[in-house]
Amino acid sequence: MTELLHLENYSFTYPQQRRPALSHVTLTLPEGAFMVLCGPSGCGKSTLLRQLKTVLAPHGLREGEITFCGTPLSQIPSRRQAAEIGFVQQSPENQVVTDKVWHELAFGLESLGFDTPTIRRRVAEMASFFGIQDWFYKNVTELSGGQKQLLSLASVMVMQPRVLILDEPTSQLDPIAASDFLQTLGRINRELGTTVLLTEHRLEEALPLATHAAVMDGGRLLCTGAPAEVGGLLRQEGHRMFLAMPSAMRIWASVQSDASCPVTVREGRAFLTEWLTDHPAQPLPPEEIPPCGEVVLAAEDVWFKYEEKGPDIVRGLHMTVRQGEFMALLGGNGTGKSTTLRLLSEGLRPYRGTVRHTGRLGVLPQNPQALFVKKTVREDLFETFDGLHLPPAEQQRRVEQMVTLCRLTELLDRHPYDLSGGEQQRAALAKVMLLEPDILLMDEPTKGLDAEFKQSFAAMVRSLLSGGVTVLMVSHDVEFCARYAHRCALFFDGSISAEGTPRAFFGGNSFYTTSADRMARGLLPHAVTAEDVMAGIGGTVPPEPEVQHTYAPLPPAAEESADWKPPKLPWWRKALAAVSGAVALVILWMATRKTDLTALVGGGKVSAAGWQTLATYGVFLVAMFVLVASIGRRAPPPVQVQTPVEKRKLSRRTVVASVLILLMIPVTLVVCVGLFGRTHYYITALLVMLECMLPFFMVFEGRRPQARELTIIAVLCALGVAGRAAFFMLPQFKPVMALTIIAGVAFGGETGFLVGAMTMLASNVLFSQGPWTPFQMFSMGIIGFLAGVLFRKGWLRRSRGALAVFGGIVTFVIYGAIMNPVSALIYGAEMNWQTLLTYYITGFPMDCVHACATVIFLLLLAEPMLEKLDRIKVKYGLVE
């Protein structure tokens, strides 16, 4: 077969990680193949797939080579990659970009520049192939989860790619929708000849469709081959991934048989029939009897809808759950299961009926990221105890227990958002279980978990049940529910339509049932799990893992500045800082209390009181500088270290930008005022705007910044505009300067200038444009540029205090120094030194307010925003 994609000795390491996510992977994907890539959660499957499309590849260190049709992937133009390499993500919400179904189908072809007749022909053909005609004109928001995922697949296939890459596309689908989706992939491979590369945890239905299978573990490729060959190798090695193989394969492996390894349900049923011909069936182990404790969770005639005139989502729900019981809710996407869980957890209120519970509730949401609020898994786990007043020793014991049980030891110092889907699920589960709830409500807790950890998770659940905890789980994982739940219920049309013990519930179903039940139906009555069938044919049933009761202590935190200790200040510097700070505060208080500024000036001249006030303001600036000099010391930054000495040399691009900003813009302002006066200020503003953007255009041409970098800068500008609008009622009390300084420190001087200047231009649409606009753009921009350059040179520390003092000073010496004389120029005053002093004196109180606002916002925003921006820079490789 022709080689389509090939990885040769390929390795990849994420930023700030020592362990590679991919290690020396050599893999070939033949043209026309259907390959299933499987492995434990966090083994590197998704990372590998994203390497196969340049625009989706994460930032990091790469070694080795990837070729597409014999050409290095890095040399293939983006347009060709978009057309020939299709990629379907795990969540359709992250891939759908338009409002209508037919818009979504046409979007890719329009982006590639196809003509209208071709677009119409391909869209019509693909809509017919996927059966989309009935909802062709619907809004995307009206579609079910399965329909959205099918639409994502169709919108990729309409571009006729040579290879289709899918990253766990069925993880959020119910069993029927998942089966339909996988069967559609089989049709695409068989009938269209499209090469398919799929990662999937549901191997029961994925492997029977595959021509090739590959198994990864710990970033390495374990084995490749036909599905049956791979299953045989995993069984021979006793590898944990064999637990994830299809039920037919695991049942076959439980006995000593010379028969070939079955993969599909049909092959498994044939094997069972032949085996039971020569071997008598054995009695099944007794089914676990549901507990008969008191009712601890109940819903009585519950009705709920999201909108007053909308349809009812939950309709007359009646259900009870008893203490120590494990109940599983199953059903299709959009039937109301997750809504019911939120009603039971009191996250929503029914408009009719009652919900009652006894004891503490613990809730694991469908999206585990909703629980993460800190920058490391370790901090997130300990954050759970905030406000509980638990002794530190007890907190430590619980965290050690959960870290061991959920296998989080190696993940403690990583950001929760950098984990794989299964790792995030484990971390979220640990966080919920730390609270030791009496009732545990879980929405899709096994999503993204590998087969081995599902067994460990089941052991944890059983340990909780034995302690009297009640568990209610919403799930699409039929195999897990059949094996471990006490009671299963089918949710349909807003309420429970059927329920019973697993054998009674699944034994009567045709679609909401297990592969083992389909294989053994009529041969081994009441056998609904692979373990039931193994016992029924006299095979060896793998032992259940036991919950560990001994826990290792937590490893020490890997902090970048853990060994750093701030130098102690001598007593005289502390005293000098206290005195200068007190003087600055007193003068600031006096300035803000001056309401009659006419007493300071008269007839365009400075009065005696004005001279006295001016001297006081001079003392204020001196006190501010003394304060900075007194407390100046090396402080550890939140995330990123101070710029190393060897990297403090300014780039040629920054030097050119400095010349443009410091020379051309002032010249432009002077010339334009002389030529146009105050009437044609928009011409001046346009020229200043172009000169503001010119350095960034140079950046763009020089290093071609990524779209995500432009997005971040646009977001910073939008935050500045929104912040200025939010505080419109407080004159000069705005966060714009603080955000501009943060942008300059985070992304460099050019970006700082651009954010400051563009924020003032855009926000003046709300606050009125005028002759002052270009001067405001220049003043705010130069502050952002100066912050970036001083930080780059190592003269400005990025500690919260240093940035706050810097913001307070530049308010007076830059923004005030520019805008006060500009006010005199705009309003036609006679320009002499007494007039300038008059405007400086009368403008000083407003500058004080502006400085206070900047200091306050920097104290509040600098550290958390720089931390987030540093993370973005490191993760995506921005502004290197």
In a domain, 433, yes or no: yes
Tokens of 673: 């005022």
Is the pLDDT score of 200 beyond 60?
A: yes
pLDDT exceeds cutoff 50 at 449? yes
pLDDT band at 205 (very low <50, low <70, confident <90, very high): confident
CA distance 864 to 869: 9
Which of 216, 245, 274 terminates a domain? The answer is 245
Residues 308 and 217 placed together within one structural domain of the fold:
no
Q: How far apart are CA 39 and CA 546, in angstroms?
A: 23
Residues 688 and 629 in one domain: no
Burial class (CB in 10 A: 0-12, 13-18, 19+), 238: exposed
Task: Please tell me the total count of domains within the chain.
Answer: 4
Q: DSSP letters along 610-661, please?
A: HHHHHHHHHHHHHHHHHHHHHH------SSSPPPPGGG-SPPHHHHHHHHII
Using the predicted structure, report yes or no on whether residue 194 has a pLDDT greater than 80. Answer: yes
**Does residue 278 sit within a domain?**
no
Does residue 551 contact residue 401 with C-beta atoms inside 8 Å?
yes
pLDDT at 800: 80
Task: Please tell me whether residues 592 and 736 are part of one structural domain.
Answer: no
With contact defined as beta carbons under 8 Å apart, do 546 and 404 qualify? no
* Residue 174, pLDDT score: 81
pLDDT band at 557 (very low <50, low <70, confident <90, very high): confident
Task: Please give the Cα distance from 219 to 22 (Å, whole number).
Answer: 4
Residue 689, pLDDT score: 62
Helices (H), 170-304: 175-192, 203-206, 227-237, 247-253, 265-278
Q: What is the pLDDT of residue 635?
A: 43
Task: Name the DSSP class of 73.
Answer: G
Q: Which residues have C-beta within 8 Å of that of residue 846, sequence separation ≥ 6?
A: 731, 732
Sheet with 163-167, edge to edge strand ranges: 85-88, 163-167, 195-199, 34-38, 212-217, 220-225
The DSSP 8-state label assigned to residue 100 in this structure reads B
Question: Does the pLDDT value for residue 320 go beyond 90?
Answer: yes
Distance CA 174, CA 144 (A): 11
Kindly state whether residue 794 falls inside one of the protein's structural domains.
yes
Q: Do both 763 and 625 map to the same domain?
A: no
The strand pair at 326-330 and 487-492 is best described as parallel
Does residue 331 share a domain with residue 207? no
Alpha helices (runs of H) in 193-264, residue ranges in sequence order: 203-206, 227-237, 247-253
- Distance in angstroms (rounded) separating the CA atoms of residues 750 and 754: 6
Q: Tell me the torsion sign for CA atoms 791, 797, 801, 805.
A: negative
Residue 432, amino acid: V
Question: What is the CATH number for 697?
Answer: 1.10.1760.20
Are residues 612 and 662 both part of a single domain? Answer: no
Q: Which domain holds residue 803?
A: 654-876
pLDDT in tens, 838-858: 666 667 777 887 888 888 888
Do 598 and 737 lie in one domain? The reply is no
Query: By C-alpha distance, which of 378, 328, 774 is closest to 558?
Result: 378
450 domain-assigned: yes
Distance CA 78, CA 707 (A): 14
Does position 769 have pLDDT exceeding 80, yes or no?
A: no
Task: Compute the distance between CA of residue 297 and CA of residue 322 in angstroms, rounded to an integer.
Answer: 7
- Look at residue 273 and tell me if it is in a domain: no
Tell me the C-alpha distance between 98 and 105, whole Å. 9
- Strands 34-38 and 195-199 turn out to be parallel
Specify which residues 317 forms β-bridges with: 302
Is residue 804's pLDDT more than 60? yes
Residue 643 lies in a domain: no
pLDDT number for residue 225: 93
Q: What is the dihedral of CA 747, 751, 753, 754, to 10 degrees?
A: -150
pLDDT tens digits for range 669-688: 677 766 665 556 566 666 76
> Is 168 in contact with 203 (CB distance < 8 Å)?
no
Whether 864 and 729 share a structural domain:
yes
Flag whether 152 is in a domain: yes
Structure token pair of residue 792? 């780059």
Contacts of 175 by beta carbon, 8 Å cutoff, 6+ apart:
476, 478, 511, 512
Question: Looking at 245, 272, 307, which one is the last position of a domain?
Answer: 245
pLDDT for position 828: 55
Q: Is the pLDDT of residue 602 over 60?
A: no
Q: Are residues 209 and 328 in the same domain?
A: no
Contact call for residues 21 and 13 (beta carbons, < 8 A): yes
Residue linked to tokens 């990524």: 706
Average pLDDT, the chain: 83
Residues 203 and 302 in one domain: no
Give the angle subtended at the CA of 157 by the CAs of 155 and 159, to the nearest 5°: 85
Q: How confident is the model at residue 732 (pLDDT cuts 50, 70, 90)?
A: confident
Question: How many angstroms from the chain centroid is the CA of residue 709?
Answer: 16
Nearest to 810 by CA among 680, 625, 643, 638: 625
Q: Edge-to-edge strands of the sheet including 439-443?
A: 361-364, 439-443, 470-474, 326-330, 487-492, 495-500
List the CATH number of the domain containing 470: 3.40.50.300
- The pLDDT of residue 641 is above 50: no
DSSP class of 76? S
Per-residue confidence (pLDDT) for residue 636, from 0 to 100: 45
The answer to whether residues 126 and 9 belong to one domain is: yes
pLDDT top residue among 568 and 194: 194
Indicate whether 540 belongs to any domain.
no
pLDDT surpassing 90 at residue 221: yes
Cβ-contact 25, 47 below 8 angstroms: no
Residues with Cβ within 8 Å of 275's Cβ and at least 6 positions away in sequence, in order, are: 255, 257, 259, 537
Per-residue buried b or exposed e for 264-277, using 16+ beta carbons within 10 Å of the residue's own CB: bbebbbebbeebbe
Kindly state whether residues 106 and 195 are assigned to the same domain. yes
**Sign of the dihedral defined by the CA atoms of residues 523, 528, 533, 536, in that order:** negative
Q: How far is CA 292 from CA 324, 358, 788, in A?
A: 8, 16, 67
* Sequence letter at residue 535: A
**Least confident span in 234-248, 350-364, 447-461, 626-640:** 626-640
Q: Which of these ranges, 34-38, 269-273, 801-805, has the smallest mean pLDDT?
A: 801-805
